[in-house]
Chain A
């Protein structure tokens, strides 16, 4: 009989709507990060580095990019005879067919997958955080406490704790109470959305709450476990962990990688991060180029200037272009003489010549002021920006745009061009 001590279930179905046009065509876990990676590479690499070789990836929203990225799991050594990586989309059943309505509901719908492996423990992960973590150490902690559920937590400044699910523990790490996004947090231990369940406890609570609409771990499963006297423990994690849920935090996390010795260090031999690299050739930096305080992905051709930026693979920066404080993802092209300041440019974007991007005073975005803020210019994938236009701050652009979309050759701060996208 097949037996795996612990399997991982990776929730990768979310849209991540706060990333705006970046996640219009791809699920958030498939968004590029750090010049080479995609967000899901971090939990997947953590799994294989922790000795977990059976991972179910639950997909729902725009899964194409995610599916092609994961494939049969070769980059993470998750191509296995028994176990390995399995992509688990929602499916039709004989009596019903429903989407994944919540995090726990998604896991419930894949009960059969989990049962195949007879696990003692199930690790629940989400595909939208940047961190390195040894889940095996967490499992040891879980076992030592004879716990039913262990929740990875991170101490955060108390003033920020109200953004998270907060755990209140006794002196031994046992969770006595928890609060979801409390106004006045009683603790600074924030849940990282990483859980280890003992299999009987998980199975029991999923079955008990199977009719709960939108069944969610934080809102339903954990309260159920607590009310039924399960042993819940908080596992304190003190390493680097970054939620890249907003454009601001996504931009910040990328920028942190270019520090001289970054807090999140990708250059250590230990705990490598794996990814599917379609580009392996070296990058070229021309005689006129200036590249400083930046990271640049494979196969990029740099003829212009780059300062404080994260450049993906196979990007072309033409002569005279100046890139500052920006993220440019793979296969994108920046035209000659173009200036880019504080922008996030997604994959396969074409920016014309002599464009000025990210200038002027900030103004709130006309479409979604809460999403497109931080003074960033955000350009969705496959977008085209014509020559000689001026683009302000807090702006979002998606789809093929032409000179007519820019009255007087300008898209002022707070502007948005997205409706063209459906064409």
Chain B
């Protein structure tokens, strides 16, 4: 592959509510045994991109832990590999990443010292599978300066969360509005871009000179009429998890057989860090209906239309409905959880009752757990 990968994983989102207290959005657990960034990383490795930088800033501990070895995505390479760039203080700079363009600018030497002619930029909060080779081919055939991967907005709940764009018959982007109050089109940007490396360096340097820091507003939208910016429209599954509602919906999508088939059984697959957990265990009294269960779970109660992430424990007579139980949660006996997302590593005492009445409730109890 003739491209580098950059994954923008520094972001926080208020729309994630309490869930973002603990981790960057890119480190959110997704679909039982993955984390959000696995989808971008797996797509890159499956497209034979060998050198990938992950730019982190907000609450990256969880993300760093997830990326502490690059071998799971086949990035344990002598040539290239996985680079994690957090903001650092240097003689010339003492700022945090002030925006996506600034994040790239602060690591420009990495781009300058590489020799791959193209760069694929992706965000860490998308759930999708993509062959970037096809996007690159398209980019070359259109003689584009920047290619923006976009999709029909019907795949998302709240279109005003995204960049909305309008293309002409040739797919050249004519209008591009970031998070508009009133969307004038229903084609949205997926936050995945292909661009020539030298072109990117030039744009980012100019941006920095002018004191501008955001890739979408200060590069894409500003250069919209000057440069040839094209849209590459996909009709395969794509979702962004950066709001509680979209996060919940994306996870629940994996209860559909066609979504599981697309992501899990169709080659190539999605990779993640290996946790070495034993198989899930169903004890007498367990009753599981239409649910996903990850490895290491122990189930004694009733689980329906829910997703149990790795290592969850469900006590006797529990009722879990329409909920997402994140990693290593312990649910005490007789607990009722309905329309909730239970934060990871939490301990819910016996006889608790949680129900999201009008919307998704996020359960964070932070009780002590007494090891048995």
Contact = CB atoms under 8 A, between A and B. Distances in A.
Q: Do A and B bind each other?
A: yes
Interface stretch (A127-135, A141-149, A231-239, A280-288): A280-288
A287 B33 CA distance: 21
Interface string A1-29: 00000000000000000000000000000
B260 interface: yes
Contact of B284 (A260, A298, A301, A306): A260
B363 interface: no
Interface string A272-296: 1111010011111111011111111
Contact of A284 (B271, B278, B292): B292
B289 interface: yes
B33 A292 contact: no
A293 B288 CA distance: 12
Interface residues of B, number: 38
Given A267-B296, A290-B287, A284 B281 contact: no
Contacts of A311: 279
B290 A292 contact: no
A267 B278 contact: yes
Nearest to B72: A280
A296 B276 contact: no
Contacts of B282: 291-296, 306
A298 B279 contact: yes
A296 B293 contact: yes
A273 B298 CA distance: 17
B291 interface: yes
A258 B290 contact: no
Contacts of B287: 290, 292
Instruction: With a 10 A CB-CB cut-off, give which of A286, A293, A298, A306 has the most chain B CB atoms.
Output: A298
A292 B284 contact: yes
Given A74-B71, A282-B292, A298-B33, A36 B278 contact: yes
A364 to B, nearest CB: 34
Contact of B289 (A34, A277, A289): A289
A273 to B, nearest CB: 7
A283 B280 contact: yes
Contacts, number: 107
Interface string B242-266: 0000000000001101001001100
Nearest to A35: B279
A299 B272 CA distance: 14
Contact of B293 (A273, A283, A306, A313): A283
B307 interface: yes
A287 B278 contact: no
A298 B292 contact: no
B182 interface: no
Given A282-B294, A283-B293, A293 B283 contact: yes
Interface residues of A, number: 38
Interface in A21-80: 34-36, 74-75
Q: Does more than half of chain A's interface fall in helix, strand or loop, or is it mixed?
A: loop
Interface string B13-49: 0000000000000000001111000000000000000
Contacts of A84: none
A298 B298 CA distance: 13
Interface in B92-135: none
Contact of B280 (A275, A281, A295): A295
B281 A267 contact: yes
B280 A293 contact: no
A282 B33 contact: yes
B371 to A, nearest CB: 9
B155 interface: no
A34 B270 CA distance: 24
B286 interface: yes
A281 B264 contact: yes
B284 A296 contact: no
Contact of B274 (A75, A285, A313): A75
A120 B306 CA distance: 54
A298 B295 contact: yes
A266 interface: yes
A297 interface: yes
Contacts of A285: 288-293
Given A258-B281, A267-B281, A295-B280, A283 B272 contact: no
Interface in B276-323: 276, 278-284, 286-296, 298, 307-309
Contacts of B281: 258, 267, 294-295
B279 A36 contact: yes
A306 B284 CA distance: 12
Interface string A233-269: 0000000000000000000000000101000001100
A283 B278 contact: no
B288 A291 contact: yes
6 contacts: A36-B278, A280-B271, A282-B254, A284-B291, A290-B287, A311-B279
Given A275-B276, A286-B290, A310-B279, 20 more contacts: A34-B279, A35-B278, A36-B278, A267-B296, A272-B276, A273-B276, A274-B276, A277-B276, A280-B272, A281-B263, A282-B32, A282-B307, A284-B292, A285-B290, A285-B293, A291-B288, A292-B284, A293-B283, A295-B282, A296-B280
